[in-house]
A = this chain, B = another copy of it.
Amino acid sequence: MVAGIRTPMPLREMQKTMPRVYAQLEKVRVKLEKHYRDMQDMEFTVEDGKLYMLQTRTGKRTPAAAFCIAVDMANEKLITKEEAILRIKPEDIERLFYPVIDVKVDRKSLTSKILATGINAVPGAAVGKVVFSAQKAEEWAERGEKVILVRRETSPEDVGGMAVAQGILTATGGKTSHAAVVARGWGKCCVVGAEKLDIDYKSLSMSTNGRVVKEGDWITLDGSEGVVYTEAMPLVVPQLPRSYETLMKWADETRSLRVRTNVDTPQDARKAIEFGAEGIGLCRTEHMFFTDFEQPERSHERQRAIQEMILADNREARVKALDKLLPFQRRDFVGIFKAMDGFPVTIRLIDPPLHEFVPHERAKQEELARDLKIDVETVARRVEQLHEANPMLGHRGCRLAITYPEILEMQVRAIVEAAIECQKSGVKVLPEIMHPLTLDRKELSILEQATRRVAEDLIKKSGVKLNYLVGTMIELPRAALLAAEIAEVAEFFSFGTNDLTQTTMGLSRDDAGRFLPDYVDEKKAGVFAADPFQSLDTKGVGMLMRWGIEQGRKTRPKLKIGICGEHGGDADSVKFCHHVGMDYVSASPFRVPIARLAAAQVIVEEKEGAKKKRK
């Protein structure tokens, strides 16, 4: 049986045919599980009615089973609730939400369709037609095809094709290879190092064990297990086990760190609440200039208004254009405040450089010129003017509000009017207005005064009592360094660790794909243990954060502090945020449960550490 030549008999049958041995086995099982305090994978044999135990080890489990086992064992008092919390890995939660191959698919036929196995780089499953080049991936995806990009290895030139693919498969590389690192950044299903795959770019085919798959053939990737199947398998999103709710409740009772979410729409806000979010840590307002999620047919109107603002050449014309955006933004905020009734909502004012809002292709520029009744050359020249050598370090964030205070005025008006409206209708609103990319106390002070001027005026006129906070992102090294001064003005700090990582390390997220994999790959330079955009560089960036928190609280002991970078959803980073004394982390909705769990785990780990010290 160990050799796999016999079909095993279900245990229940053994209970019938050998009740005595079965009872003995049950006793041993309980004993072993009590001893090892975990579910066991046991091997045994029965010879002449006698039970021989051959081997036991901690059993592998699916993510759902991990929750069930942990909760059951805690309920049976085999382990404590705190131990149960530690038993769950961030991957268990992550994999709980990704699509998987439908369990209804017959296991035998599934096994027969295994094309190759590799390393499970990014979990989830994906189905698509095979393409062997990034260029083809882009072409096929553009005409609506679902594709899986298959490469011997990927390199920076493949990034465009990787972005549009359903999943990525490479024949070489490990968990820190280029493909794995880039795909993980996007949460895109990825299998790497399927070494037995023989990929032939010339004949546009790949083969293994005599099996041949050609360009255009369907395949399925299981990124959680690292398996490649021929044909398209049906995918489903698995149901959450009941034990998930139980365990997360225990986690919530344990943790002290609050967990908020990064969302921009009422729909996402509602979804995040379901995932356990306790407020919004980052509501980006710029997407609102582009898309009307409730009335998609009105998205165009929003775009034209912001473009009209950008193309205007004086304050009056800009104000006129912004006035058109005001009702849209106000409606968005009303929706978000309602979804977050009673929870705080941090709203970040416009952040990206203006060139992101204007069309760069001639045809679209002509269309825009027609709509705004201006010369197309005027449009082209303005677009050209907005071009920046390094937009990441350019005219963006609160620098826009310094140059164009009318943008800030419109946005604050929309927020405060929405808050007043909600407050009047009985919704509890806690708005926190956040200025991005601040680098100096005086700069923030100018913005803070402008913010309060607009807000106080509206609140006074409304007769409603409305509390709101004015604070700032800390996302530039200078802001962290001068946190003591900045906290004189800011009522809260939110660490924008994406940009803080970019500037502290001098690494552009958009470009790092060219060389960062070499820096993470142990077999190459191996400079970093993990991608610093995935897991916080606690040594460098973390040093600035510690300093910023210490200095900020020296000035304002009750300063509210959180994080709203991608790291807010990474377990190790969340633990770091707890250690440095933050009040909350904020993560994308899907990662809120990871943050909740990690925030509980760090408390349990601290207690255990303290116990060990006492001993």
Alpha-carbon separation in the docked complex, A343 to B467 (Å): 65
Residues of B within 8 A of A391 (CB): 389-390, 511
Taken together as a complex, chains A and B put the C-alpha atoms of A286 and B366 apart, in Å, by 41
Is the CB–CB distance between B510 and A442 below 8 Å?
A: no
Instruction: Judge whether A184 is part of the interface by a CB distance below 8 angstroms.
Output: no
Q: Which of B385, B403, B508, B519 contacts A393 (CB 8 A)?
A: B508
Partner-binding segment picked from A66-74, A214-222, A394-402: A394-402
A440 proximal to B (CB < 8 A): yes
Q: Is A541 an interface residue (CB 8 A)?
A: yes
How far does the Cβ of A52 sit from chain B's closest Cβ, in whole Å?
A: 50
Choice from B156, B439, B518 contacting A506 with Cβ under 8 Å: B439
Task: Quote the shortest CB–CB distance from A350 to chain B (angstroms).
Answer: 14
Given the interface contacts A385-B157, A392-B390, A442-B525, does A506 sit within 8 Å of B540 by beta carbon? Answer: no
Whether the Cβ atoms of A515 and B399 lie closer than 8 Å is yes
In the complex the two chains form, is B390's CB within 8 Å of A510's CB? yes
Evaluate contact between A390 and B511: CB separation under 8 angstroms.
yes
Docked-complex contact A515 and B477, CB < 8 angstroms? no
Q: How far does the Cβ of A477 sit from chain B's closest Cβ, in whole Å? A: 4
- Segment touching B, from A316-324, A328-336, A424-432, A496-504: A496-504
**CB atoms of B393 and A507 under 8 A apart:** yes
**B443 close to A476 (CB less than 8 A):** no
Are the C-beta atoms of A442 and B511 separated by less than 8 Å? Answer: no
Known: A505-B476, A519-B402. A439 touches B510 (CB 8 A): no
Residue of B nearest to A447 (CB): B525
Minimum C-beta distance from A295 to chain B (A): 32
**Pair A506/B503 contact, Cβ less than 8 Å:** yes
| Interfacial chain B residues near A477, Cβ < 8 Å | 477, 503-506, 540, 544
Q: With A and B bound together, what is the CA distance between A393 and B519 in angstroms?
A: 15
Q: Is A518 a contact of B390 with CB atoms below 8 Å?
A: no
Given the known A-B contacts A442-B527, A503-B504, A527-B442, are A478 and B540 also in contact in the complex, defined by CB atoms under 8 Å? Answer: yes
Copies in the complex: 2
Closest to A502 in B: B393
A113 is an interface residue with CB less than 8 A from chain B: no
The CA-CA distance from A560 to B503 in the complex, in Å, is 26
Q: In angstroms, how far is the closest chain B Cβ from the Cβ of A388?
A: 4
Known interface pairs A156-B385, A544-B481; A443-B508 also in contact (CB < 8 Å): no
Contact, CB under 8 Å: B392 / A393: yes
Is A236 in contact with chain B by the CB < 8 A criterion? no
In the assembled complex, how far is the CB of residue A399 from the closest CB belonging to chain B, in whole angstroms?
Answer: 5
0/1 interface trace, chain A 506-530, chain B, CB 8 Å (1 if under): 1110111011001100000111100
Answer yes or no: A374 CB below 8 A from chain B CBs: no
Q: How far is the CA of A543 from the CA of B390 in the complex (A)?
A: 25
Interface string of A368-396 (1 = CB under 8 A from B): 00000000000001000100111111110
Judge whether B394 and A508 touch: CB under 8 Å: yes
A481→B501 CA distance, assembly (Å): 13
| Pair B389/A392 contact, Cβ less than 8 Å | yes
Mask of A156-196 contacts with B, CB within 8 angstroms, 1/0: 11000000000000000000000000000000000000000
A25 at the interface (CB under 8 A from B): no
Min CB–CB distance A393 → chain B (angstroms): 4
> How many interface residues does A have (CB within 8 Å)?
52
A286 to chain B: closest CB distance in Å? 17
Q: Is the Cβ of A393 less than 8 Å from the Cβ of B446? A: no
A433 CB–B CB distance under 8 Å: no
Chain A 71-106: CB-based contact to B (< 8 A → 1; otherwise 0):
000000000000000000000000000000000000
Interface residues of A in 214-239 (CB under 8 A from B): none
A139 to chain B, nearest CB (A): 15
The answer to whether the Cβ of A12 comes within 8 Å of any Cβ in the partner chain is no
Closest to A526 in B: B442
A510 and B478 contacting across the interface, CB-CB below 8 Å: no
| A458 is an interface residue with CB less than 8 A from chain B | no
Any B CB within 8 A of the CB of A611 = no
Which B residues lie within 8 Å of A157 (CB)? Answer: 381, 385
A402 to B514, CA, bound (A): 12
Interface centre among A394, A543, A544 (most CB of B within 10 A): A394
**In the assembled complex, which residues on chain B have CB atoms less than 8 Å from the CB atom of A403?**
514-515, 518
Could you tell me if A393 and B506 are in contact, using CB atoms closer than 8 angstroms?
yes
Q: Is A50 an interface residue (CB 8 A)?
A: no
Asked if A614 lies at the interface with its beta carbon under 8 angstroms from chain B, I say: no
Is A519's CB under 8 angstroms from B443's CB? yes
A477 to B539, CA, bound (A): 12
The answer on a CB contact under 8 Å between B499 and A506 is: yes
* Chain B, Cβ-Cβ closest to A438: B506
Per-residue 0/1 for A538-554: is the Cβ within 8 Å of any B Cβ (1 yes, 0 no)? 01110110000000000
- Known contacts A390-B511, A518-B402, A527-B443; A481 and B502 CB within 8 A of each other: no
Q: Which residues of A contact B (CB under 8 A)?
A: 156-157, 381, 385, 388-395, 399, 402-403, 437, 439-440, 442-443, 446, 475-478, 481-482, 499, 502-508, 510-512, 514-515, 518-519, 525-528, 537, 539-541, 543-544
Name 10 extra pairs, CB < 8 A, besides A389-B511, A390-B510, A402-B519: A390-B391, A390-B393, A392-B506, A394-B508, A439-B505, A475-B506, A476-B504, A477-B503, A477-B506, A478-B505
Can you list 22 contacts pairing A with B, beta carbon distance less than 8 Å?
A: A157-B381, A388-B510, A390-B508, A393-B503, A394-B508, A395-B511, A395-B514, A403-B515, A439-B505, A439-B506, A442-B526, A443-B525, A446-B525, A446-B527, A475-B506, A476-B504, A476-B505, A477-B477, A477-B505, A478-B537, A478-B541, A499-B506
